[in-house]
Structure 1
């Protein structure tokens, strides 16, 4: 049994419009025609492999990591429309990785490597399966309002008063929090600032409040994130490289994931999103009042990208 989770979500019923669109494209993973005389499938080994997958999938969604939330809901929609039964749970990343190593989750879509989640790789690397990466320009940042005086993290130490002597952080278990504490603060002499460790929603609320009021603010953030489109902010330069270079966002599965889900393994291995795709998905999910919830935003995104699943399957060779 894993520790208590912050939020639990039971996935919703299939969406009629998207199901119809996918069926029209002939995208059923497990559909294969049988030859009544020979018992062989007409569509060959790749389609037959789909029937080898377990049909229940548990997704661990990282609390506060919006790209992970968005992609997890996207995969929930894809998998449900392909006939899988999906259960998703939202929790702190540390809880997710513990649960993944222990078999309480099957897969998680938001592992930042080689820096942010390096400690989890060291702890759980032998107990999970790295299924590949879907994004390769992820960056940890310290962001400020664009009209504020500091240009670099070196400036921030001498201008702390301009920012209320405060650096606003996110969840205690986040890799960004650890790197800020262990690398950024000592490297740039920011020990005198009040580093508030709270949550991503609390950080975003402070960011919104400060920028709306025209006040200076400094927050821990990361790219990709919809906040860069929503608020007038910019990153502070990091001349010492304390936040690390650009990273990849990986997918981790259980140690036996490839054996349990051979077809899904191929699909995940072929999965990738470019900036335009990811930002449009995040903006529809987090910035728009048009959609009732995350799954409604995913439905709309799939309608705007009608060949996405078809292209994914083609790239995976399934």
Structure 2
């Protein structure tokens, strides 16, 4: 009887060790299952604000959130190859239509969270023109220059392919670099009381920070109102059903978005937005709580 008993005990010990190992691995897998990577467009402040807000919310809920900043094209490529989980700043039906046409079969549209977005071309408030169809004849007033943002942005493509030829602006210099560089030029022009024309969009905190106004677009070449969509990689809903539902139901008014953007961007440049976002959440707790109900 002793030998069978010893054999039974040995088998039980091995099984226990195996279960312990499984439990340990399972713990790691569970932690891994809580990891979410949100892609963020460089320079697109409404997307940065929404992404930083959700990073704070999801961290509080026990998720491990990583924000990865990149230009527009690499984001959609990375989302289609499942290097990223979600991007919260897709402009449709116009601005990012080319990317959705190229990568849309490998993405999932989670719906829009704001329907008041609009591409604009803005000037200083006291500029002598009111419409884009006056710009060509007054190009010298603006140093013959249109100051743009990132070369790969949808706004850049629409300005270059539609607005410039449509309003006869081909002889003006169209400078593209980055959103940060454009805002620097805008700030400098206001400080020096100079006329300037920039490509911009709404919602954007610059409209509260600077004395600027939009040029009228009588030909409608910048398009009408757009919606800000969230897109996920294929399979995200299966891997993160709770978060997928939250993103799908996410809505944010322009007033709330302006409020968050102003808190994050209108002051001195910071490297860590979390303390600002945390403070904003405490001031808008009822709204924030509603996002995860």
TM over 0.5: yes
The answer to whether structure 1 residue 103 and structure 2 residue 82 are counterparts is yes
Query: Per-residue CA shift, 1:260-309, capped at 9, x if unaligned?
Result: 11111111111111122111100110013497731111101111011223
The answer to whether structure 1 residue 133 and structure 2 residue 112 are counterparts is yes
In structure 2, the partner of 1:296 is 275
Q: What are the equivalent positions in structure 2 for 1:23-42 lying under 5 Å apart? A: none
Q: Which runs of 5+ in 2 are unaligned?
A: 1-29
Contact 2:116 2:254 in 1 (8 A): no
Decide which structure has the larger Cα Rg and report it.
2
What is the TM-score normalised by the length of structure 2?
A: 0.87
In structure 1, the partner of 2:176 is 197
Q: 1:268 aligns with which of 236, 244, 247?
A: 247
CA distance in 2, matches of 1:303, 1:170: 33
Q: What are the equivalent positions in structure 2 for 1:6-45 lying under 5 Å apart? A: none
CA distance in 2, matches of 1:138, 1:310: 24
CA distance in 2, matches of 1:291, 1:172: 25
Taking a change above 3 Å as real, the CA distance of residues 241 and 141 of structure 1, as seen in their structure-2 partners, is same
CA distance in 2, matches of 1:288, 1:162: 30
Q: Aligned pairs, how many?
A: 263
CA distance in 1, matches of 2:251, 2:86: 16
The answer to whether structure 1 residue 285 and structure 2 residue 248 are counterparts is no
In structure 2, the partner of 1:149 is 128
Contact 2:146 2:172 in 1 (8 A): yes
Query: Per-residue CA shift, 1:165-186, capped at 9, x if unaligned?
Result: 0000100110000000110001
Q: 2:223 aligns with which of 204, 226, 244?
A: 244
Give runs of ≥4 in structure 1 deviating > 4 Å.
289-292
Q: Which runs of 5+ in 1 are unaligned?
A: 1-50
Deviates more, 1:256-265 or 1:205-214: 256-265
Contact 1:291 1:297 in 2 (8 A): no
Contact 2:131 2:217 in 1 (8 A): yes
CA distance in 2, matches of 1:290, 1:243: 30
Contact 1:138 1:223 in 2 (8 A): yes
In structure 2, the partner of 1:44 is none
CA deviation after TM superposition for structure 1 residue 310, in Å = 2.2
CA distance in 2, matches of 1:290, 1:97: 28
CA distance in 2, matches of 1:165, 1:66: 27
Contact 1:61 1:91 in 2 (8 A): yes
In structure 2, the partner of 1:43 is none
Q: What are the equivalent positions in structure 2 for 1:53-132 lying under 5 Å apart? A: 54-132=33-111
Structure with more of its chain in helix, by fraction: 2
The answer to whether structure 1 residue 178 and structure 2 residue 153 are counterparts is no
Query: Per-residue CA shift, 1:154-212, capped at 9, x if unaligned?
Result: 00011001100000010011000000011000100000000001100100000010011
In structure 2, the partner of 1:225 is 204
In structure 2, the partner of 1:12 is none
